[in-house]
């Protein structure tokens, strides 16, 4: 018998708690002890690499339209398509304003430059009030960020830098 249940959980939102890997190991050992005749295979999913990279981009424009704040950044969904493709959530922070933990904050649409409806990294995100030239960080892009990137609309994906 084969059962597919998805991979191990990855913290995406600030309110989520991380997976307790020691607890998972204990549960797996208990299962193995109780069922020595079964073979258990585990698919870690994004757990191993999601936090291995981030997408960093500069704010290129701020727009206010019908009461909505739009923060435009220099790269688009060709660099990270997960939010567009299946509504994946990636935490977004303004690195330039990070030392000021008190704010001011805004709720904004974080959008790319491709001028398509789906070129959105986050809807109604609470981020520090931003200005052109600020640097935003989009977290947990290590799994499928680069591998799903493309040259859509003849745009180069974000440059990959290894540290």
Indicate whether 33 and 64 sit together in one domain.
no
Number of domains in the chain: 2
Residues 150 and 100 in one domain: yes
Which has the closest alpha carbon to 76: 163, 9, 10, 154?
Answer: 154
CA–CA separation, 51 and 40 (whole Å): 26
What is the reported pLDDT for 6? 65
Q: Is residue 162 a part of any domain in this protein?
A: no
Three-point CA angle 130, 133, 138, nearest 5°: 65
Q: Among the options 40, 115, 161, 163, which is catalytic?
A: 115
Chain center to CA of 79: 12
Planar angle of CA 84, 156, 119, nearest 5 degrees: 20
Give the separation between CA 12 and CA 140, rounded to whole angstroms: 7
pLDDT value of position 63 = 97
Residues of the chain with pLDDT under 70: 1-6
Distances (CA, A) of 54 to 65, 116, 117, 144, 160: 29, 23, 23, 11, 10
| Residue 109 and residue 128 in one domain | yes
Contacts of 37 (CB under 8 A, 6+ apart): none
* pLDDT tens digit sequence for 25-52: 999 999 999 999 998 887 888 888 888 9
pLDDT value of residue 46: 84
In a domain, 133, yes or no: yes
Structural domain containing residue 13: 1-48
Going by the DSSP 8-state scheme, the letter that residue 156 receives in this structure is: P
In a domain, 80, yes or no: yes
Residues 6 or more apart from 92 whose CB is under 8 A from it?
A: 110, 121, 122, 125, 127, 136, 137, 138, 139
Looking at the fold, whether 44 and 56 belong to one and the same domain comes out as: no
115 is catalytic: yes
Measured CA to CA, the distance from residue 94 to residue 75 in angstroms comes to 15
Tell me, yes or no, whether 160 lies in a domain: no
């Amino acid at each position: 018998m084969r059962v597919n249940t998805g991979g191990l959980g990855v913290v995406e939102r600030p309110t989520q708690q991380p997976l307790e890997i020691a607890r998972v190991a204990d549960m797996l050992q208990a299962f193995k002890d109780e069922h020595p005749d079964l073979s258990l295979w585990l698919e870690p999913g994004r757990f191993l690499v999601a936090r291995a990279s981030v997408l960093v981009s500069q704010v290129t424009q701020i727009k206010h339209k019908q009461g909505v704040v739009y923060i435009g950044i220099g790269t688009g969904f060709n660099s990270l398509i997960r939010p567009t493709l299946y509504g994946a959530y990636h935490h977004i922070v303004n690195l330039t304003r990070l030392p000021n933990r008190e704010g001011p904050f805004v709720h904004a649409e974080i959008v790319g430059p491709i001028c398509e409806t789906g070129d959105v990294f986050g809807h109604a995100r609470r981020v520090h009030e931003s200005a052109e030239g600020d640097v935003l960080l989009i977290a947990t892009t290590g799994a499928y960020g680069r591998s799903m990137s493309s040259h859509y609309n003849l745009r180069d994906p974000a440059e990959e830098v290894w540290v």
